Amino acid sequence: MMTDVVEQNGNAKSRQGGERPDAPAGATGTGTEDTAAAARIVAIRERIDEIDRTLIELWHERASLSREVGATRMASGGTRLVLSREREILERFRQELGTDGTQLALLLLRAGRGPL
């Protein structure tokens, strides 16, 4: 069973993202029926998708490099973690992005070293 979601402009959509068959003509998932605005939204979303792809690639690269640092440190007799380094990263993200930055940094750190 699909549950309808009403967007701010009043268009009804199913929770699975498709347009309802009875949605107004021209509703293309952009939230507007204005052709120029819809085209601009599509162009902006294309750029957002490019940024998302880059972020995902960088996420994977960062995690891999972090795991390499940890493996190199442990192979040389060092510790698994360097908490002062983690605090430094957390603080950098917090200063730049606020509370959300701290959460992002925690996710990045976990991706590179695994859960504590």
67 CB-side CA count, 13 A: 11
> What is the pTM for the complete model shown?
0.71
What phi and psi, each to the nearest 5 degrees, are found at residue 4?
Answer: -75, 145
Q: Which residues contact 16 (CB under 8 A, 6 or more apart)?
A: 2
Number of domains in the chain: 1
Is 38 within the bounds of a domain? no
- Residue 92 structural domain: 53-113
| Strands 12-14, 4-6: pairing kind | antiparallel
Give the CATH number of the domain where residue 71 resides: 1.20.59.10
**pLDDT tens figures, 6-56:** 455 555 444 444 444 444 444 469 999 999 999 999 999 999 999 999 999
Per-residue pLDDT reduced to its tens digit, 5-18? 445 555 544 444 44
* Any domain includes 75: yes
Backbone phi, psi, residue 19, to 5°: -70, 145
